[in-house]
Amino acid sequence: MKNNIKRMVSYYRPYMGTFVADMFFAFLSSIIALVIPMAVRYITSNIMVIKEEGAIDKIMLIGIGLIILVIIQFGANYFITNIGHVMGAKMEYDMRAQIFAHYQKLSFSFFDEEKVGQLMSRITSDLFDISELLHHGPENIAISLIKIVGAFVILSRISMELTLAAFALVPVMFAYAFFLNKRMKRAFKENRVKISEINSQIEDNLSGIRVVKSFANEDIENEKFKKGNDGFLSAKKNSYFFMGFFHSGMTAFTMLINIVVIMVGGILLADDAVKVPDFIAFLLYINIFTDPIKTLIDFTESFQNGYSGFERFVEILEIEPDIKDLEDAIELKDVKGDIAFEDVSFKYNDTAHRVLRHINLNVPAGAYVALVGSSGGGKTTLCSLIPRFYDVTKGRITVDGNDIRDITLKSLRNNIGIVQQDVYLFAGTVYDNIVYGKPGATKEEVIEAAKKANAHEFIMELPDGYETDIGQRGIKLSGGQKQRLSIARVFLKNPPILIFDEATSALDNESENIVKESLEKLAHNRTTFVIAHRLSTIRNAQRILVLTENGIEESGTHDELMQLNGVYAQLYKWTK
């Protein structure tokens, strides 16, 4: 916890000037609150000995002074509420930027295990509560301490007996709060987990809403959501159970302090041990004393919320990406595209089963290689190792003789273009999605890339041409149109190495022919790996590799493999 608190405090550093000003105005506002009961005591103590005219002038003067103080307090509170909140928002901004940048560094293996909704919770609701704590926490503590200490000093000067009576319950009250705080912390952390699960379920449902409706499974989805929602409600009930005890207990202690003061004050008044003006002032100060108690209650709740969120925030930041650049990593330049697999084996973290076993493969620059085999044979995995989406378990992969682990990730991936079956287009325009392949490209370059991908014609038929909004994930476009945009994106990138991951398998015949033509243009004079589902589309490949659980089972041209009458021949006859 100590390290987390230090880490949390470090976010104040860029805004130290604003923070100091915020604390100053909190101090000023608290001092002014302590002054008003003193004015009441002065008036009630001295009004009887001042002549009538003098009394009115004195009271008017005190009133003007108090109004000035209220105006100053107004300004102080405005600064705390406005500028102080902006400071909290800026710290939230910094943390959100930090965790988002960290997400970008994490490798595929991390995202394989995590749910998008849960990751979104850490970057939205968690950070909001953290920023509220970072803003309100210090000022709440400062205000509370100033008022409690100030009230104690003033009260002790009025009557030490009443002061001791008022503060007698304070140690018991703090012990009560400490006891419940621990339980509240656990409950609030559980809330965070349940909120993340709910967000994840909602994100999953809304992303697949068309599948839900196509199967008319709305009732099943509602039932699944009900289970998650029930878990969330249960966690909330648990946290509110302890919160109820906490709040009601603090309110009860506040009332008990007032009752004790009234009883002891009444006894002291009866014995002439305290004067009526002092007793009135004392009662006013007791309210000032109980006010910071309520502030501390609010702080305790916000602390539990904010700190549990910060713990989850830190959990993510402390996850080290398992794939990152070496300190002396080199830039990949003037790439030819020679790729070699040297005794490569691979398995995913969550399984002892090796997906790839002892793969040895040399692909010269400009070669067109097709990968075929049954599902689970490792075709996509093999291609995912080239851009280091995952690292090999054993052996090494080289590009132009350089081990890819010795190359910077950015320069390696900048030289590889990937066209997948499941095309991902971002919300925005056609232009935005093509230029993503080469940020900063000119309009002419974008249009040229679209023409090469056989996409320009259909783009110009859209309502706003290249500025047409395509909707979430390109929902307004057909499968073939989306695929051609993804190909245009890679044309614009112009990489020397290409990977086609079953890029045409989900298309109809007409769309497939158009896309196939685009892919052939793109593959010209580039080192190309094609993962094929329809074997008829790769008959002209210079080399076909048949992957099985044993590794590369067969290798050759289409005609050579058909003559072998082995695995490939059987697959071809089956898919024909």
Question: What per-residue confidence (pLDDT) applies to 541?
Answer: 81
Those residues with Cβ within 8 angstroms of residue 329's Cβ, 6 or more apart along the chain or in another chain? 406, 407, 408
- Report the alpha-carbon distance of residue 369 to residue 283 in Å, rounded: 88
Q: What global pTM score does this model have?
A: 0.73
- The packing angle between helices 170-207 and 116-123, to 10°, is 140
489, amino acid identity: R
Query: Is the separation of the CB atoms in 437 and 416 below 8 Å?
Result: no
Angle (nearest 5°) at CA 241 between 240 and 243: 55
Burial of 356 (0-12, 13-18, 19+ CB in 10 A): buried
Question: What per-residue confidence (pLDDT) applies to 425?
Answer: 84
Question: What per-residue confidence (pLDDT) applies to 50?
Answer: 55
Question: What per-residue confidence (pLDDT) applies to 525?
Answer: 85
Per the DSSP assignment, residues forming a β-bridge with 399 are 339, 402
pLDDT averages per 10-residue partition of the chain, 576 residues: 82 91 88 78 62 68 85 90 87 88 84 76 80 82 82 82 83 80 77 76 72 71 81 81 81 83 84 80 76 73 80 86 87 90 83 76 90 80 89 92 92 88 82 88 90 86 89 80 86 88 64 72 84 75 84 86 84 70
> Please, what are the domains in the chain?
13-317 (1.20.1560.10), 339-575 (3.40.50.300)
Question: What per-residue confidence (pLDDT) applies to 406?
Answer: 93
